[in-house]
Amino acid sequence: MYCEDCKKEVSVIKNEIDKYGKTLTYFSCRHIFAQTNIPDQGKAHELAGIKKKGQKRFSKKYKFYSEVIFGEKFGKDGNLVFINRITDRANDFYKEVVQQGENILRDVEEKLSEHFSRHK
């Protein structure tokens, strides 16, 4: 075996895995080599949105007439959830559906003005 730190030929004293999943290799020169194993498989999660820009009818804080957001993201508990949200300022409409697998966690359909007054 070759030690990167001292640039010498060394022998391995012991190998172990720590509590974080790193593989630690102890060399005879007293250096430690830590190796992290990352799984080859991964899954991408995407949250996409579409906005329809407005003219000068609304204030600068709200720069769109309507917005649609859909896709997957991680929820507050760390589990993956699917979100479908529609915000329509021109028609004063708000709808949001959040589901985890087959379970619907949140299903809200109301006037947008009522929705914002609740969250202030």
Give 10-residue mean pLDDT values along the chain (120 residues). Answer: 84 88 88 77 68 62 75 84 88 91 90 76
Predicted pLDDT of residue 15: 92
Please report whether residue 19 resides in a domain.
yes
Nearest to residue 37, comparing CAs of 21, 53, 57? 21
> How far is CA 111 from its chain centroid?
29
Task: Give the pairing type, strands 32-36 and 47-53.
Answer: unpaired
Domain residues for the domain of 82 are: 47-118
* pTM given for the model: 0.53
Closest CA relative to residue 65, chosen from 86, 82, 47: 86
What is the count of structural domains for the chain? 2
Q: What is the pLDDT of residue 118?
A: 66
Q: Is residue 41 part of a domain?
A: no
Burial of 19 (0-12, 13-18, 19+ CB in 10 A): exposed
Residues 75 and 31 in one domain: no
Predicted local confidence at residue 120, as pLDDT: 59
One domain for residues 29 and 82: no
